[in-house]
Amino acid sequence: MKTRLALALLGLLWLPGGAGAATLAGKPAQGGTSVEITFPIAPQFQAMAAQGGNPTPTQGRAFVSFPPGFDPARPWPILVVTSTSDFGRTSPMDAPWYRPPADAEGWMVIAPDTVGKARVDSTPWRLAALAAALEAVRRDWPQSQRWPVAFAGFSGGSKRCATMGAMLAKGGAVRPAGFFLGGVNEDRLSDGYKTYRPPDSFLDVPVWLSSGSDDRIATPAAHDQVRQSITRAGFQRVRLEGWRGGHQLSRGEVRRALRWFREIGKW
């Protein structure tokens, strides 16, 4: 009887929301679910965000999703989603589009923002929110510092995430696992590499360019020019993949890219 009672109590502890359930920033971290977390922005990140006359943000927020079977005791790859700044879009708005392929391939999704709006939606502003979000995850799960991190964006978001990935890789803040660049008509990845000079291993990070056949904003020809530019910069693993569609995100392409990143990383 005592043994059965002990097993029953142990089972209760690991029910979702129970005392033994994993949490992130006070929110339950259950496989197959998503949450919005809030977190403080440290002074050094506040100063970064305030460049160019922006207000000083003190709080950040992020959409976070956990793939089925998620357990922070095991390593999980993280997909950082960055939106375009056009039309007032924020990264948490775009994140749900990436979640189904990320769930299918076993990736955690993080899409950060600040609490409060910027006067100028700049790269330092976006980077401050991302750095603070990663710090919040590592505060609760220190082991996550070793987890692979890939960057994804569409249109203006792809340009922005390429720059931020290079900036974070420079100081070893993340271990880049890949770039998904959709609807992109300008190479910011090479510029980021030349400007911020991350380690030479950055050139081995896989890059997936996703081009819609009917995209009139980032045309197939523009994607090919981006591919050539990235390759000339020395990147070793660059794929340009076309699909039938216009200037929009393809979830199928995201899934293929995430699977390829795993194959390259062998994790």
DSSP the chain: -HHHHHHHHHHHHTSTTSTTS-EETTEE--TTEEEEEEEE--HHHHHHHTGGG-----EEEEEEEE-TT--TTS---EEEEE--SGGG--HHHHHHHHHHHHHHHT-EEEEEEESS--SS--HHHHHHHHHHHHHHHHHH-GGGGGSEEEEEEETHHHHHHHHHHHHHHHTTSSEEEEEEEES--S--HHHHHHHH---GGGGGS-EEEEEETT-SSS-HHHHHHHHHHHHHTT-S-EEEEEES-SSS--HHHHHHHHHHHHHHHT-
Residue 12 backbone dihedrals phi, psi, to 5 degrees: -65, -35
**Residue-level pLDDT at 165:** 97
**Residue-level pLDDT at 4:** 45
pLDDT per residue over 59-101, tens digit each?
A: 999 999 999 999 999 999 999 999 998 888 999 999 999 999 9
pLDDT per residue over 32-60, tens digit each?
A: 999 999 999 999 999 999 999 999 999 99
Q: Nearest 5°: CA angle at 245, between 241 and 247?
A: 90
Mean pLDDT of 106-114: 98
Look at residue 259 and tell me whether its pLDDT is greater than 80. Answer: yes
CB half-sphere exposure, 104, CA atoms < 13 A:
14
**Residue-level pLDDT at 17:** 38
At 236, list the tokens: 């070793």
Read off the pLDDT band of 21 (50, 70, 90): confident
**Residue-level pLDDT at 20:** 55
At 114, list the tokens: 């600040």
**Residue-level pLDDT at 98:** 98
Cβ-proximal residues to 7 (8 Å cutoff; 6+ apart), any chain: none
pLDDT per residue over 118-134, tens digit each?
A: 999 999 999 999 999 99
**Residue-level pLDDT at 87:** 81
* 174 vs 147: CA distance, rounded Å: 8
pLDDT per residue over 184-195, tens digit each?
A: 999 999 999 999
Contact 90, 83 (CB under 8 A): yes
pLDDT per residue over 139-176, tens digit each?
A: 999 999 999 999 999 999 999 999 999 999 998 899 89
**Residue-level pLDDT at 239:** 98
HEC sequence for 222-238:
HHHHHHHHHHHCCCCCE
Q: Is the dihedral of CA 107, 251, 180, 126 positive or negative?
A: negative
Pairing state between β 207-212 and 175-182: parallel
**Residue-level pLDDT at 214:** 97
Structural domains in the chain, CATH included, are: 21-265 (3.40.50.1820)
Specify the pTM: 0.91
